[in-house]
Amino acid sequence: MNRLAEKVAIVTGASPNIGGTLALGLAAEGARVLCTDLSPGVAQHCADKIVAEGGEAAAVAGDVTDPGHVDEAVGAALDRWGRIDVLVNNAVFFKQQGVLTMSYEDFRHQLDVIVGGSFLFTKAVAKAMIDTGTAGSIINVLSTAAWQGQPGNVGYSTGKSGLVNFTRSVAMELAEYGIRVNGFTPTATAPTDPVTRAKMDELLARPSPYRNEFAAQLPLSRLPTPADYVGAVIYLASEESAMVTGTNITVDGGATAKYWPWMPHPV
C-alpha cells in the first residue's frame, strides 16, 4: 500500500520496540524515513531494516535534548529529500522511580528527554514545514501513564502528561499553516524484539512495592504488541486525518476506559 507515498518522516527513538516498529510501518506505506536514536547502532539498524525491506531510509544518531543534533537530523532529511511531512516524537528516557526515591537530576533529565526533546524537534520540523509550504503531521507518543496516576513512575508520568497539553497548544499555534499535531497513546506493550523483551522481563522481575497486573486488567485480555500501534499512527500521518488536530488516539486494549474496580479477568 502507498498511503504515505512520497512523504518524508522523522522518527525519534527508533529502537526495535515501538519507535522502530512505527518507522518500519511508515516506510511500508511509502514514506522515506529518517531514523534517530541516542545509540548510533540502534538508529542505523532501524534504517538498514527499512532498506532491506525495500524502503528508503537514513539514520542520524544523537541526543534529542541537544539542539545541534536536532538541526543535524532535520538538515539531513531536507538535504536528502527536500521536505519533511511527518514527525513522530517517540524518544524517551526510562527511570521508573517515585517522588520519594528519584533524584531531582534524574527527574529533570526525564522531562528534558520526553518534553524538551519533543519541543526541540517540533520547533525545528515545524519551521521546515512552514518554509517548504508543507501541511504536515506531528505525532507525539504519549502513554496511558499520561492519563492515570501510576505510583513509582513520577518522571515518566509527568513527562507524558505534559505532552498532552503540549500537543493541544502546538496544534492551535500551527493550525494556520495547515500543520496538524496529535497525540497517540499506547500502553504497556508486549515487545516482539528479543532484546527488548529481555529488558522488560528484567524490569518486571525487580522488587517493587507496587503490584501491577497488566494483562489481567485489560478488557481485551492481552497486552498490545508494537505492531498493534502502526495503523493508528499511519492514519494520523496520512491525508485521511486531514481534519484531525489537537486530539489523541488511544490503543490500549480498553485500559483507560475501564471502570477502576472492575476486574475483567481473573488474576
- Kindly list the catalytic residues: 156
Q: Which three cell numbers stand for residue 104?
A: 531531582
The b/e string for 139-152 (b: 16+ C-beta within 10 A; e otherwise) is: bbbbbbbbbeebeb
> How distant is the alpha carbon of residue 230 from its chain centre?
11
d(CA 256, CA 1): 32
46: three-class secondary structure by DSSP: helix
87 in Cβ contact with 129 (< 8 Å): no
Q: Which three cell numbers stand for residue 110?
A: 526525564
d(CA 118, CA 129): 16
Q: How far is CA 67 from CA 117, 162, 203, in A?
A: 9, 20, 31
Positive/negative CA dihedral, 30, 31, 32, 34: negative
Residues sharing a CB contact under 8 Å with residue 168, sequence separation 6 or more, in sequence order: 246
d(CA 141, CA 150): 17
State the distance between the two ends of the chain, measured CA to CA, in whole angstroms.
41
The b/e string for 3-21 (b: 16+ C-beta within 10 A; e otherwise) is: bbeebbbbbbbbbbbbbbb
